[in-house]
Amino acid sequence: MEFFEIVLLKPTLNILVVLSNVFFHDFGLAIIVLTILVRGAMLPLTLKQLRSSKKMSDSMREIQPRLQQIKKKFAKDPKKLQQETMKLYKEAGVSPMGCLSSPMLISMLIQIPIFIAVYRAIIQALAVTPQDFLGLSQDLYSWSIVHESLPVSGTFLWLNLGSPDPYLIIPILVMVTMWISQKMITQPSLEPQQQSMQNMMQLMMPLMFGFITFSLPAGLGLYFVVTSLFSIATQYFVYGWGNLSNPFKRSAPQPAPAQKPPRSYREEPDVSEEEVEPGSDKKEVAKSRYGGGFSRSSKTSGTKQRKGSKYEKHQADITVDQLSDRDKGGKHGKSRSKR
């Protein structure tokens, strides 16, 4: 803990106070500048993390059909299923740990203490209560500029940075910017459970942070907003608008960009929903895989669509069995040709 304070917290706190002096004794500007500086310093790590994440999700999406096949094939042999899955991951260069894989984990581990240091430095510098201000005396360097800058000015625009925003603009901005930031980078998942978790996460985290900001000093809310805006800008350069281009779509899966669909798709693209046996749960599997709101696919599934954007719709109609069968040379394909 002492190491954290000496190496991260105290330097951050003192720089923040100096910045408030340099930027016209405006603590709001100091928070914005410090956040940008810290995020800027960590930009190489952030970019590495984002690119690595993007690469992994692309690879993951690419192997999904084969993964489903394996699951189906070895459903009754968990050991073999695990072996084959790991083999597939290895071939595709995908880490089963997802975002917890190295180097992403290392990148995250480096960034988290820095964010905590900035967060705590803001709270300390605001020194709302006499106890806070008294405690501040123990963490300052002996630089005269630091002492001359205290106490920091708590006024920024309409805000008293040491109190919650009375107009609730900051909490709303926290929610909106955080949601946009998350929406941009969240890659649709083919796993229904994972997809459900992602959807909930996209909503829960901004709501939770917004709720917390209702009662936190506005200075911290400002920090959350600037952090999210910086993330949005950074992510734009890696993902573009990503998933945000259609913000209210329920995260339907899309093919990996600049990648050809699996060979089996191209050979046997046309699968109709009549091929799913009545009463079976195959349709449900497909539905849940691609989200409940994706029923539009059933109308187009009977037609042959090989090119352009229609390929996406077609892909959404393929059931697990169909994928499996087609790889074998598929009986569905044969039976269809007989009709």
Partner 1 sequence: MSPPKKREPGIGRKLLIFLCLSSVLLIVACTRAPTTGWSGPTMNDGVLYVGSIEGKVIALSNVTGTSPVLKWEKEFESKTSGGLFACGASLSTPMSTYGIPAIGGAPGEEKLYVGGYDGKVYAIRLDDRTMSDYDTGSAIVGSPIVASGMVFVGNSDGEFYCLDLQLGKRWVFETGGKIWSTARVHDGTVYIGSADHKLYAIDIESGVERWHFEAKGAILSDPLVANGTVYVGACDDYFYAIDAATGSEKWSFKANNWFWTKALFYHDEIWVGSLDHNLYVLDANTGVKKWVFETEGMVQSPPVLVGDKIIVASGADKGDQRGKLYKIDPVARIAGELKSFEAPVLAPLYADTVNGIIFVHAQNGTHTLYAIKVDDGTQLWQRDTSD
Cα(47)–Cα(45) distance, rounded to whole angstroms? 5
Closest CA to 275 of 335, 227, 229: 335
Binding mask 194-213 vs partner 1 (x if CB under 8 A, - otherwise)?
x-xx--xx--xx--xx--x-
d(CA 201, CA 183): 10
168 binds partner 1 per the rule CB under 8 A: no
Q: Do 183 and 52 meet the contact criterion of CB atoms below 8 Å apart?
A: no
Q: By the 8 A CB rule, do 12 and 123 touch?
A: no
Instruction: Please identify, using beta-carbon distances, which residue of 31 and 271 lies nearer to partner 1.
Output: 31
| CB 128, min distance to partner 1, A | 6
Q: What is the smallest separation between the CB atom of 191 and partner 1, expressed in angstroms?
A: 8
Query: Mask 88-127, x = binds partner 1 (CB under 8 A)?
Result: ----------------------------x--xx--xx---
Indicate the DSSP class of residue 9: I
**Minimum CB–partner distance for residue 137 and partner 1 (Å):** 5
246 binding partner 1? (CB under 8 A):
no
308 binds partner 1 (CB under 8 A): no
> Which one, 5 or 58, has the nearer CB to partner 1?
5
Residue 153 DSSP code? P
- Whichever of 157 and 204 has its CB closer to partner 1, that residue is 204
Tokens 């074998």 found at = 328
Distance separating alpha carbons of residues 167 and 158, to the nearest angstrom: 9
**In the complex, minimum distance from the CB of residue 254 to partner 1, in angstroms, rounded to a whole number:** 21
d(CA 2, CA 290): 49
Residue carrying structure tokens 């169909």: 322
Angle between helices 320-328 and 43-73 (to 10 degrees): 70
Whole-number Å distance between alpha carbons of 280 and 287? 13
User: Per CB under 8 A, does 137 bind partner 1?
Assistant: yes
Q: Which stretch binds partner 1 (CB under 8 A): 101-109, 159-167, 226-234, 325-333?
A: 159-167
Beta carbon of residue 250, minimum distance to partner 1 (angstroms, whole number): 17
**How far apart, in whole angstroms, are the C-alpha atoms of residue 329 and residue 221?**
58
Amino acid identity for residue 233 in this structure = A
Residue 141 interacts with partner 1 (CB under 8 A)?
Answer: no
Strand partners, 160: 155
Q: Which is nearer to partner 1, 109 or 197 (CB)?
A: 197
CB of 211 to partner 1, least distance (A): 9
Question: Of the candidates 75, 142, 278, 292, which one interacts with partner 1 according to CB under 8 A?
Answer: 142
Structure tokens at 28: 């709001």
**Token representation of residue 240:** 């573009």
At its nearest, how many Å lie between partner 1 and the CB of residue 138? Answer: 6
Q: What residues make contact with partner 1 under the rule CB under 8 A?
A: 116, 119-120, 123-124, 128-134, 137-138, 142, 144, 147-148, 150-151, 162-164, 193-194, 196-197, 200-201, 204-205, 208-209, 212, 214-217
